[in-house]
Amino acid sequence: MLEHMARARSGPQHRADLAPTAAVTTGKSLKDILGDAIGHVMLFGVIALLFQSRVPLYLGAFVFLTDGERIERVLAMIGIRLESETIGSDIVKRFPFWFGWFALLGSLKGAVPIWLAPWMPPTESLSSLAGTGLLLAVVEAFSSLAMRRALPLLGTQINPNGLTWTTIQFAIAVGALALLVLSELR
């Protein structure tokens, strides 16, 4: 028994600080990211010209800037490695999505019907948009953490990239936000 443990310890140990970054393992470089940016600008620029509107450009910027994998690759290129399945990683990857989503909705405020305009976020204060985006990113990160902890206890295995995971995470986040709103109303 002790010999088995000694053999296991004498083998090479995996150290997190020596693990390769995502940029090294995926082979993506700055040239690839710039190519993606130029491709998005060209595609959504042509769509904007066809429809004679700025909305496709805003949508293209939103799609490009809020891609979680691209954010992780860029951070890995500058030496910041995000640990998978952690709260910090979820917040860092989801904050640009929520901030971009509210900024996109705010920029489209003049293009929506009159009855929908009061429900659109304000465009005056980017700090309020950032605060709302950060709040939603934190709620989403904690709902993801709750699912990662609760599902194995229930004997259920769900793919984190699947529709079932996203639906359950959305329901938990909406419930948490509803509780937050209800606590503010009292």
pLDDT at 25: 45
Tell me if 79 is assigned to some domain: yes
Whether 1 is covered by a domain: the verdict is no
Within the chain, which residues score under 70 in pLDDT?
1-28, 122-124, 184-186
Residue 2 lies in a domain: no
pLDDT at 7: 60
HSE-up (13 A, CA, CB side) for residue 140: 21
Looking at the domain assignment, is residue 152 inside a domain?
A: yes
Q: What confidence tens digit (pLDDT) does each residue in 19-67 have?
A: 444 444 445 678 888 999 999 999 999 999 999 888 888 899 998 988 8
Nearest one of 120, 119, 136 to 176, comparing CA atoms: 136
Tell me, yes or no, whether 76 lies in a domain.
yes
Q: How far is CA 136 from CA 19, 46, 58, 102, 104, in A?
A: 31, 33, 21, 11, 16
Q: Let me know if 140 is exposed, middle or buried by CB neighbors in 10 A (0-12, 13-18, 19+).
A: buried
Q: Please give the residue range of the domain that contains residue 99.
A: 20-185
Measured at the alpha carbon of residue 95, what is the angle toward residues 81 and 174, in degrees to the nearest 5?
Answer: 125
Q: Is 14 within the bounds of a domain?
A: no
What pLDDT shows up at residue 40? 92
**pLDDT of amino acid 24:** 46
**Is residue 3 a part of any domain in this protein?**
no
Number of domains observed in the structure of the chain? 1
Q: What is the pLDDT of residue 124?
A: 65
Angle at which helices 68-77 and 30-51 cross, to 10°:
140
pLDDT the model gives residue 142: 86
Q: Is residue 13 part of a domain?
A: no
